[in-house]
Structures are given as structure tokens and as C-alpha cells.
Chain A
Amino acid sequence: MSRYSAWAVFKNGLSGQKSWERAWRDPEPKTHYDIVIVGAGLHGLATAYYLAKNHGLKNIAVVEKGWLGGGNAGRNTTIVRSNYMMPGNRQFYEHSLELWEELSHELNYNVMFSQRSHVSLLHSPAARDAAARRYNTMRLTGSDGELWSLETLKSEIPHLNYDNARFPIIGAAVQKRAGSARHDAVAWGYARAADQLGVDILQNCEVTSVTRDADKATSIETSRGTIKADKIGFAVAGNTSRLWQMAGLGRLPIETHKLQAFVSEPLKPLLDQVVVFGVGGAHFYISQSDKGGMVFGGDLDWYKSYAQRGNLPIVQDVAECATSIMPCLGRVRLLRHWSGVMDMSMDGSAFICKTPINNLYLNAGWNYGGFKASPASGWYFADLIANDRPHDTIAHMDIKRFERGVMIDERGAGPDPKLHG
């Protein structure tokens, strides 16, 4: 398949844009693959790509019950950042951000990654102290981070609510290398790049059961027939517990909750950064897409749910947050909103690990943070599957950590999945 380039754009322009090849094949499932990844979301596609690219493996399939970009890949607010502090998370998310910085070149697909700064508003001296600690930790471990005074913030983002706010803004913690990307392009880019390396992407292929022979998973039953596999990886947000039970493995430290996101009608350029507001129970994040829509979101819907549709109290809550920090949005109309189902884990952190079944591997529990994590998640999950041992960076990201009493709880919220926002 040909590479995308300025020359290809020019050449296809001369033939009326009718000569473009399809971006990836639509193959029939084979009866056997060396490796099958369940879930063609960003994590599953990235895993397949890095298995082929970094480890030179062939005969890989990714099975997907719906279509590419139909799950959480297309149901997020596209924010990329690495302002995590806990040991382990720090290195992992930093690596992810480094992968993002080269991703468009790596995939030969413009994922529109825009390092436009991630600005967390601060509302109290205590919050500023906590942010100073976190962002200093980031600086000491090879990342970037800075604290903005109120004057700097006002000059950079003049239209936040600086007067008469319920929670007055006193400054901001900023990561300049953070930003946003176009989520569909990330799915399509990974799919195309993996396909070019020989990966079969099987859409409309829902897993209905997992066949086991003692401590080995031998095959999966799907809506497109039986597929045998030497190694199987699960990378399905939201439905991880169901697959886990299909494999006869019992319960997981995960609950499924839904998270809504919103986009407004397109506006002229208004907001150059990703802005985050979180104080006194409020939680809100907003950026402006390249098309002009304001993209924003807030908290979970607060009760366990597998339904990919949101409830109204959160619409109200998010709208209140929006108008309280950016009153100028008061008369902007909402274009659409959507809801995705999240694996909310017991400590708010993810799992990339081996399982009680020798040839089965787990990638799950991404909570709110799956989008930014997807390149590194695929990178380390591929490394785990290829080498059958966890890389040092993800050694702590296993489901056994609760037995050891070593939680990775960035928020300090305790073992209640809905609180790990």
C-alpha cells in the first residue's frame, strides 16, 4: 500500500481523488492466528501495531465486535498529558507522551496531535502547594511543568471568570507539552499502519466465549466463527469483566461506569489550551477542536452502568461548570453528547499483566485516562505478549497489587471505583 505524502495528495488531485486505495483490508477470519487481540480500540490496535513493528511478529488478528472508532476510541475528550506523580505511572505516561510526539510520523497518518498546553486552574494556596509538589516531581523525572501566576494566566487566557467567581482563580499548573489529538485519526492511523504490517483487523466479530484446556486458552468463539490462537490478549474497555468471566476467571477489581463528553457548535478561535477546573466537588475539562467545537466533559454518571448513553443531571452539572469558569459560553448551543463505558478500577490505575491462564494477557482498567495512554499501553502490552514477562515499567500494573496492599491511587480515594475521576 502506498504512503501518504504531499506528492500523493497532488497526484490524486489530478485524478479527481478517485485513485485512493482503501486504508486497511477487510479480510475474512482465518481459523488460526499466533496472536489474537480482543478489542480494536486504540489500545488493541496499538498493541497489534507494536507486536508487528517492534517485535517482528506475524499472523496477528484484532477482533472487534463493532466498528473501528465506535467504542471509547470515539467517546473521549482527546486530552493527552503526563502529569502523573506516582512511581510507575510517572515513567509510563511520560513514555506515552514521547510516543505521541512522534506518532504522526511513525504511523504516516496525521493524528493532529497539538501540544497546546494543559492548564489546571488553582483556587487555593493548598492546591498550589500540591501542584508545586506534583509538577516539581515531573520536572525532576524528565518532563516539563510550570506554575503560572494569576497575571500570566490572565494574559494567556483572558476570558476565564476572574471576577465574582465562587472559587476565585489564583493561578495555574501547566504542562506545555500536553495537548489534544484527533481521536478518530488515532484509531485509523494505528489500523492502517498495523494492516500494512500484515495484521488482520476483523470488524463485526464479537467474542461469545473463550475455550480453555486446563491452564491454556485454546480458541475464541466469535460471531464470525471459531478462531484458534496461541496467545490471546484482552483489550476491551467496559466489558473486561464479561470477557474475564467467559474465560472462567471469576471476579476482577473493576466496575463498569459511564462517562459523558460534549461538543458545542463550532465557534471562532476562543481557547488555545486544554483547561481543567476541579475544586469543591466540581470536575471539568475543556478544549476547542480544530473544527471550532468546544469539547468538554465532567464526572462519571455516578452509578454502575453498561449503557452507552448519559443521564441528564450530569449534563446540567457540566453546563454549570462550563458557565462558571467561562461565562462567555452561556449562550453557546450544544451540538451533541455521548457516553462511553469505562473500566473503573479499585485504585484508579490500569492493568497490563499476565493472568492465571498462561497464554492469556490482560490490558484493562483505564478509568478516565485511556486515550492519552493508548500508545504506551500498546507498546508495553505488545512487549508483555511477545516476551511473556512484564517490562520493569509496568511490573506494578498487575491485578495482584491489591493482594500485596500496593495501590497506585493518584487521587487517594480508596477502593471505590466511582470515586477515581
Chain B
Amino acid sequence: MATSPANVQSFYMVKRPNALAVAWKVIVKKPSRVIGLILIAIFVLMAAIGPMLYPPVLPINPLAIYAAPSFAHPLGTDFQGTDVLAEIITGARFVLLGAFFAALFTVLIGTSVGLAAGYFRKWRDSVLMRITDLFLTVPSFPLLIVLSTIWRFTSPLALGLVLGITGWAGLARAVRSQTFSLRERGFIEAARGIGLSDWHILTREIFPNIAPYIVMNLLIATTGAIYSEIGLFFLGIVPFSTNNWGVMLNMAFTQSGAMYTKSGLLYLLSPLACIMLVTFGVVLFLDAVDELLNPRLKGV
């Protein structure tokens, strides 16, 4: 069969449709992935526009303390008579932004350390792995608490940075072992043979091969960061700069007595449910990301 230019073009068109279309096709393949995407979209939207929908200080109403769910208050009210739904929506921004930064720093530190240790080996590897082991062994949450005494992190960025500093070690180990095995492969040897710089090999040859794994970890780290963030606020260790889900839990547990009454159930449960829903969304969506990025699953 003769190949006309038009045929060649259509061949490539079929082979490489645009990335968004591919992603969409992969996502709609399973309903669970669509649910995951919807959940993530809802919370991202909440974080983006939520605080604009309400006044900066939410109104309190002493006449409606722990009101039952109604049309005006779909999730009831808290110990001050503030609408719980409003608190949930305005509280999303801090939590999600902090978790995003945390995941970013975790991946940044973990990947650089893992790549360097796995690629350079010898003394650099042993030094880096000693440090990694130290961070893996010292329980990260107590370390976080101790760090919070010198570092009054009030912004999501600072909180994310600290969470990244305490949480990168596991990823570094995994990236190191992947780099180790990649390093022995023929194409890396060839790259070294033609005299490409270490920097080039690390960033252009090795990194793209572990990138899918790192993207997956970015998403997983987000959920872990949400837990730690809310844990810090829950224990009341980080100063309460803004309203967020962790502050709500802290109030429900320590000050308002929601813990001891059945009428406080929704106030206690709403932030917990949100944490679970975000996690659930990420886990469901992860499956789609895996298929999109994992070359071995492509075309199956």
C-alpha cells in the first residue's frame, strides 16, 4: 500500500491526539475516576472562591447554638451559632493550599536527594542516606511539634515548607532505588559514553523515567499533608490565623464541648467528612493518573 502524505498525517493524528482528550478518555473509562475528579473539583472550587462568598468574619447567633440542620443552615450551627457549612467552605482554602505546598516541597526535596544519592553513589550516597534514615526514624509528627516552637508558621506556604522538611525521607529512598536500577540501563551508559554532563543525564534521561512515579507521589503526599496540617491545628500547636477544618476540630474537641453532646455531631463530623472526601477523591483519581502516566499500561 502506498503511503500518501495525507495518510501519514492521519496516522500521526490517530497516534497523538491532544493530551486533554486522552486524559478525558482515560477518566471517563471508569465511573470511580469521574467521581474522584468531581470530588477534587468541588474542593478546589471551594478553596478558590469559598472565602469570597462569605464575610471575612462569619456571623454568630447566640439564639441558634447547635441548631439542627435546616434550610438556612444545611449542616446546622456550631457552639456560637455560626453556620457549619460556611465554616467548611471558607476553611477549605488554607487546608488545600497548605497541602499543595507541602506536597510540592516533599517531592522537591525527596526527588533531589533520591536522584543525587542514587546517581552519584559512594560517599555522597552514604551521607545522604544517613540523613534520610535519620528523618525516617525520628517520628515526624513530634518533630513537627518541636519545630513549631521556633517557627510560628501562620501562612500556608510556611506550613507547607515545614511539612515538606519533615516528610520527604520515604520518597527519597524510593527515588534512590529507582535511580539505582535505571543507572545500569544501556541508554544511561550510552549517555555517559558520549560525554553528556551529569546534570543533563539526571534531568533529561533519568528524571523523565521516574516522573510518573513522582506525580503519583505528589498526589499521595497531598493527602498525608492534609492529615498533618489538621493534626497540628487540632492539637492547638499552630497559632489560629484563619478559620479552617483543623481549627474547627480543635474547637469541637476542646472548647465547645461538642465532643460531649449528641447535638454537636454535625459540627464534629463535617470537617472529618471533608478530610475523608478529599482523600477519597484523590485515591479514586490516582487510578486514572496511573493509567495516563504508566507507559506499561498504555494502549491496554
* B is bound to A: no
Identify the B interface with A (CB < 8 A): none
Residue numbers of A with Cβ under 8 A of B are none
